[in-house]
């Protein structure tokens, strides 16, 4: 065996040793690194969601006094009469898709103006479809949500629909 043959054998053994280290030593570490990266991304997503919820909670906490005052003023707008239970029953029945209007007088006291039990559904100029579209709910899906809500009140559902549909 010549010196050149020994040099070639040593070079092949070193290359084989490096290849073995690469595939047997580093490959599991790369897989572990990829798994950890996925876990980090999931944790970051959960952190972002938690921070958003905390921010919403802080905003709601800051607005509590204003919101409570609004509810108190709206409560004063409800008439004090024997017709109140009937009015509340009618408003509850209409509230699933109705628009209830209150207006304030010059001193800022709200008064019940009207209950519009059927919201406009024209896809281009009615408020409900426009607001739904601005919030990412297409017109056809909005109609489906309204239909599903009505059916759900009677314990029914459209065939083939899942209960995961978002609420409008």
Residue 148 placed within a domain: yes
Cα–Cα–Cα angle for 143, 155, 89, rounded to 5 degrees = 80
What integer pLDDT is reported at residue 150 of this predicted model?
Answer: 75
pTM greater than the 0.85 cutoff: no
Residue 104 placed within a domain: no
149, 162 Cβ separation under 8 angstroms: no
- Measured distance CA(91)–CA(118) in Å, rounded: 12
- Comparing 27-36, 48-57, 95-104, which segment has the lowest mean pLDDT? 95-104
Residue 105 placed within a domain: no
**In the chain, how many domains are there?**
1
Averaged confidence pLDDT in the chain: 79
Residue 149 placed within a domain: yes
Residue 137 placed within a domain: yes
More confident residue, 159 or 49: 49
Residue 144: which of 126, 127, 157 has the closest Cα? Answer: 157
**Is the predicted pLDDT of residue 167 greater than 60, yes or no?**
no
| Element of type H or E holding 104 | strand 99-104
139, 132 Cβ separation under 8 angstroms: yes
Interval 42-66: pLDDT, tens: 999 999 999 999 998 888 888 888 8
Average pLDDT value for residue range 138-142: 88
By residue range, what is the domain housing residue 156? 119-168
Q: Which residues pair with 112 in a beta bridge?
A: 102
Residue 147 placed within a domain: yes
Residue 71 placed within a domain: no
């Amino acid at each position: 065996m010549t010196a050149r043959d020994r040099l070639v054998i040593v070079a092949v053994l070193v290359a084989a040793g490096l290849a073995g280290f690469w595939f047997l030593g580093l490959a599991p570490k790369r897989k572990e690194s990829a798994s950890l990266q996925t876990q980090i991304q999931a944790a970051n997503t959960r952190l972002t969601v938690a921070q958003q919820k905390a921010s919403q909670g802080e905003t709601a906490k800051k607005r509590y006094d204003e919101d409570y005052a609004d509810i108190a003023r709206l409560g004063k707008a409800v008439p004090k009469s024997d017709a109140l239970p009937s009015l509340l029953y009618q408003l509850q029945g209409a509230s699933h898709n109705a628009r209830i209007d209150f207006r304030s007088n010059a001193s800022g006291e709200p008064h019940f103006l009207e209950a519009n039990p059927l919201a406009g559904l024209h896809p281009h100029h009615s408020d409900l479809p426009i607001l739904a579209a601005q919030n990412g709910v297409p017109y056809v899906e909005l109609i489906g949500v309204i239909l599903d809500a009505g059916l759900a009140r009677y314990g029914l559902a459209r065939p083939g629909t899942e209960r995961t549909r978002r609420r409008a």
